[in-house]
């Protein structure tokens, strides 16, 4: 599993749990670690929302 796949999986779990603080913390950590906002969106947020959408 790639780093982005791992982060995306973690982000999906956080969103499903409704934990806003953890979602912001994960995003902040990735951005402070050098990811661009577009990279984070394309590799974490978008796939997570697609995964959640498929569940409904």
pLDDT tens digits for range 23-38:
999 999 999 999 999 9
Listed by start position, the domains of the chain span 3-55
Residue pair 15/52 in contact by the 8 Å Cβ criterion: yes
Percent of all residues in the chain with a pLDDT value above 90, rounded to a whole number: 95
Alpha helices by DSSP H, 1-56:
3-17, 20-32, 37-40, 46-55
Average per-residue pLDDT for the chain: 96
Split at pLDDT 50, 70, 90, the class of 56 is confident
Residue 21 pLDDT grade (very low, low, confident, very high; cuts 50, 70, 90): very high
Query: CA 6 to CA 56: how far, in whole Å?
Result: 22
Specify the pLDDT at position 10: 97
């Amino acid at each position: 599993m790639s780093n982005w796949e791992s982060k995306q999986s973690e982000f999906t779990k956080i969103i499903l749990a409704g934990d806003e603080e953890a979602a912001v913390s994960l995003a902040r950590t990735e951005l402070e670690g050098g990811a661009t906002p577009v990279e984070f969106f394309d590799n974490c947020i978008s796939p997570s929302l697609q995964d959640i959408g498929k569940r409904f």
